[in-house]
Chain A
């Protein structure tokens, strides 16, 4: 496997000396669009994920959240997809050498050792994500037998354990049931059991609760939180629901149009959103104690020029990047794609995507990384502003 280096967690909110488990560096992924120009799904994305941390990736449909996650599993269909630039660095566990590999450069067979084993993924659609013609047991066992050197009997025990862990009643009997005999919430539990059966160190949860109703959503998220705590696992939680973010995330990464527009820990982000888009997202949430005739839309926020003049150093030309606005006059693009943009550390532990103006020509903000976990601070989430 290819060796690569990972930036040391030095600046910003790093509290301990733990090393990041995954780091996305300047990732750019594009898709062939037949006769038209290639579609740049993700461009210059950077983010870092620490063990036992939940990183929420937030943004609207098509902003590149899923592509980022799928790229780290090499699940982006290629062609039409293509990795243009960047790296996704992943730290292997100590018993497998502990070195850092670039997931984008791994061969298919090397990748198979990672998938399901080191990194597992659960998807938005529990209805269709399970193979309808095999029993749930078959599908969980398949994952276990692929990655663990166990007999089928032992694998069965592991599967039963996994199903018990995710709260499926009568796991032994349910192993023989087919996916269509489960409800949506139970199917998502099965997906999670399958993902966790091999004790992955990173779980990519791609909108795991979008297709479920609210009570089931809460159960599933609670389950993920519990499992993260008991299994020492990092979670990348992809969602567009800020309520889910507030309840579950340690660090939040807001994406728009294939780029990161804001990266901060969950308290900082909700207390002090710095990008107008983030502010728009937060303001559009109805608040239970405030009375509105109509809700604030994101559009109202991002179409207000004043909103773009609030960053520290705004008078020197630090302007939030926003694809629908005209670029500032003193733009000093670097050559290459996404050269007009940089993810600037505007204050300790808080990164915002800004235009690369003259003032930021040689900006060398550290990559976004926060070794931050809510639980370690012992604070109660209920005190925080929640959507």
Chain B
């Protein structure tokens, strides 16, 4: 059994890689690509006077979107993987993972402009903290270097984008339109001869040269800034992440899910905020479904064709047929809304605004008024969302249970049990039900992950800040990190649930063995 579980766990790794790659490709292939939403939302932080191409260049550089899709995916994989290669990353006191600064590319076609790159091959600057430097000092030094580098890098990226645009316009002016992108920048694969043609042009040559000079000057600043930052980084201002296996080659560290593009917060925090809400809903909903559907399926099977069988079957199928959006709206309109309905339940959220200030348990205020307390407040808010999650779930499970029970009622061992003189109630509970467990376990496995990702509609309608809401927003904003992290987590939960089911099979049925 142990070997089997280990093998299954190891097999999860390739499965997860395949799954996240698929999601990654889908995001990248969607119209506008990964950065589409950033172009709309991210421009506000820019200084006035920057062109659209410059904005995009800045954002692409900042989020690493300029690299090819495969490189982006491998980078993401490297961050998420618990096994890290090369030097260990650092962890700041706030928990942020700090990596060695990425290398920086020179402007395109620098060779055509003559001259060499400014001191690219410089020796590494040695940097060491004072022996007496406190963590605070080191942190401050790193932050200073980091901010300086971010600024010069941004300036360079903007200047480079300006240069590419200027050359693009010049190319168009001398009639070499085929080397110009639709947004007016020059294409990455432009041949050197085209650039030389621009330089040879009396009118466009000097303009292009000026733009290049600006970009190359900023490039010098940027690589200088990078070198300084790298020196500080190499001096280890923060403790390294994870545990080493082989020094400077192999280490183990917690997966880094990255930062959300849209919200500027670590994805891990977003998920740890959202997941408990979804889990709370589902941990209420799933037991309700099971405690109602399984016994009623059993009862329906023992009284096959009877009144209960027909009525419960009909009712469940009727409930199952109600579209969930409609059901949610009806609940809101008739049960939550004070003007059109009864107003018994709250309309949105998982807590009242005053809920945060409440005591944990119900209590009576000094002036004698009843305070429902945080727990009761949450339960009250959960009534409608849980009802919406639950009502459609009875049909399938109870029919499955009923069918499994009926199968087993006709089994020979039931006749044996009867011939021994076992009471019918014990035959149902001890013999038939125990043998009907397998399909019920299968159902559990399919329900649980589906609910984790599938409560999107309910969370949306009732404004529950859960996983469903997080995912749907991330899809709208093409928030790559959030989507990938979600795909990863839901995939992992799914596979763990399947594994759990297989283990439960072995426990429920002694004939199942994995050894």
- Measured CB to CB, the residues of A under 8 A from B are 73, 75, 108, 111-117, 120-121, 123, 125, 128-135, 142-143, 146-147, 178, 180, 191, 194-195
The CA of A115 and the CA of B422, in the complex, are separated in Å by 8
Given A120-B420, A178-B511, A191-B416, output 18 extra A-B contacts at Cβ < 8 Å: A75-B415, A108-B424, A111-B421, A112-B421, A112-B423, A114-B421, A115-B420, A120-B419, A123-B415, A128-B412, A129-B412, A129-B415, A132-B509, A133-B510, A135-B510, A142-B422, A143-B420, A194-B416
B398-457 residues at the A interface, CB under 8 angstroms? 411-413, 415-424, 431, 434-435
Q: B431 — which chain A residues lie within 8 A by C-beta?
A: 131
Q: How far is the CB of A203 from chain B (nearest CB, A)?
A: 11
What distance in Å separates the Cβ of A198 from its nearest Cβ neighbour in chain B? 8
Is the Cβ of A115 less than 8 Å from the Cβ of B419?
yes
Cα A386 to Cα B411 in complex, Å, equals 36
Q: A128-B412, A131-B413, A180-B511 are known contacts. Are A147 and B421 too (CB-CB below 8 A)?
A: yes
B421 touches which of A116, A129, A130 (Cβ 8 Å):
A116
Out of A123, A132, A180, A191, name the residue touching B435 (CB < 8 Å): A132
Contact of A129 among B413, B422, B509, B511 (CB under 8 A): B413
Cβ contact within 8 Å between B421 and A113: yes
Chain A residues whose C-beta falls within 8 Å of the C-beta of B411 in the assembled complex: 128
CA distance A125 to B410 in the complex (A): 14
B415, B421, B435: the one contacting A133 at CB < 8 Å is B435
A131 touches B418 (CB 8 A): no
Task: Give CA–CA (A128, B435) in the complex, Å.
Answer: 13
Q: How far is the CA of A135 from the CA of B434 in the complex (A)?
A: 13
Assembled-state Cα–Cα distance A338/B422 (Å): 35
A116 touches B434 (CB 8 A): no
Given A108-B424, A178-B510, CB of A130 within 8 Å of CB of B413: yes
- A194→B420 contact, CB < 8 A: yes
Provide a sorted-by-A list of 18 A–B residue pairs whose CB atoms are within 8 angstroms.
A115-B421, A116-B421, A123-B419, A130-B413, A131-B417, A132-B413, A132-B509, A132-B511, A133-B434, A133-B509, A134-B434, A143-B420, A146-B421, A178-B511, A180-B510, A180-B511, A191-B416, A195-B419
Closest Cβ–Cβ distance, residue B404 to chain A (whole Å): 13
Cα–Cα distance between A156 and B190 once the two chains are bound (Å): 89
How far does the Cβ of A106 sit from chain B's closest Cβ, in whole Å?
Answer: 12
Residues of the B chain whose Cβ atoms lie less than 8 Å from the Cβ of A116: 419-421
Of all A-B residue pairs in the complex, the 6 with the closest CB atoms, nearest first, are A115-B421, A116-B421, A116-B420, A128-B412, A131-B413, A143-B420
* Measured CA separation A120–B420 after assembly (Å): 7
| Partner pick for B418 among A113, A115, A133, A191, CB 8 A cutoff | A115
Q: Is the CB of B510 within 8 A of A75?
A: no
Q: Is B510 a contact partner of A143 (Cβ separation < 8 A)? A: no
- B416's partner among A111, A114, A130, A135 (CB-CB below 8 A) is A130
B100 → chain A, closest Cβ, in Å?
Answer: 58
Question: What are the interface flags for B495-511 relative to A under an 8 Å C-beta threshold, 1 for contact and 0 otherwise?
Answer: 00000000000001111
- Asked if A75 and B419 sit within 8 Å, CB to CB, the answer is yes
User: Are A123 and B412 touching (Cβ within 8 A)?
Assistant: yes
Asked whether A133 lies within 8 Å of B508 as measured between CB atoms, the reply is yes
Contacts of A115 in B (CB 8 A): 418-421
Min CB distance B302 to A, Å, is 13
B435 neighbours in A (Cβ, 8 Å): 131-133
Interface 1/0s, chain B 342-382, versus A by CB < 8 A? 00000000000000000000000000000000000000000
A14–B414 alpha-carbon span in the complex (Å): 39
**Which residues does chain A contribute within 8 Å of B510, judged by CB atoms?**
132-133, 135, 178, 180
B33-59 toward A: CB 8 Å interface, digit per residue (1/0)?
A: 000000000000000000000000000
User: Which residues of A are found within 8 Å of B415, using beta-carbon distances?
Assistant: 75, 123, 129
Rounded to whole Å, the gap between the CB of B472 and the closest CB of chain A is 43
Q: Please state if A73 and B511 are interface contacts (CB–CB under 8 Å).
A: no
- Residues of chain A lying within 8 A (CB to CB) of residue B434: 131, 133-134
Chain B residues contacting A132 (CB-CB under 8 Å) are 413, 435, 509-511
* Distance in Å: Cβ of B440 to nearest Cβ of chain A: 13
CA distance A341 to B12 in the complex (A): 73
Q: How far is the CA of A73 from the CA of B417 in the complex (A)?
A: 12
Give the docked Cα–Cα distance between A142 and B416 (Å).
12
- CA separation between A123 and B414, bound complex, in Å? 12
Chain A contacts for B422, CB-based, 8 A: 112, 142, 146
Q: In chain A, what residue has the closest Cβ to B408?
A: A131
CB distance from A280 to the nearest CB of B (A): 32
Which residues of B sit under 8 angstroms from A73, Cβ to Cβ?
418-419
Task: Using CB atoms, name the residue of chain A closest to B434.
Answer: A133
Residues in chain A near residue B412, CB distance under 8 A: 123, 125, 128-129
Chain B residue with the shortest CB-CB distance to A109: B423
Residue in A113, A121, A178 whose CB lies within 8 Å of B419: A121
B171-189 interface mask toward A, CB cutoff 8 Å, 1 = contact, 0 = none? 0000000000000000000
Q: Bound state CA distance, A194 and B415, in angstroms? A: 14
CA distance A120 to B422 in the complex (A): 12
Name the residue of chain A whose CB is nearest to the CB of B305. Answer: A79
Complex Cα–Cα for A112 and B418 (A): 8
B415's closest neighbor in chain A, by CB? Answer: A75
Nearest-CB distance from B36 to chain A (Å)? Answer: 55
- Chain B residue numbers with a CB within 8 Å of A195 are 419
- Chain B residues with CB under 8 A of A111: 421
With A and B bound together, what is the CA distance between A117 and B420 in angstroms? Answer: 7
Residue of A nearest to B413 (CB): A131
B416 touches A129 (CB 8 A): yes
- Which residues of A lie under 8 Å from residue B423 when comparing CB positions? 112
Q: Mark B143-173, 1 if CB is under 8 A from A, else 0.
A: 0000000000000000000000000000000
Residues of A within 8 A of B511 (CB): 132, 178, 180
Residue of B nearest to A146 (CB): B421
Bound-complex Cα distance A146 to B423 (A): 9
B70-107 CB mask vs A (1 if < 8 Å, else 0) is 00000000000000000000000000000000000000
**What's the least CB distance linking A88 to chain B, in Å?**
15
Bound-state CA distance A128–B412 (Å) is 6
Report the bound CA distance from A286 to B203 in whole Å. Answer: 117
Q: Quick check: B421 and A117 within 8 Å, CB to CB?
A: yes
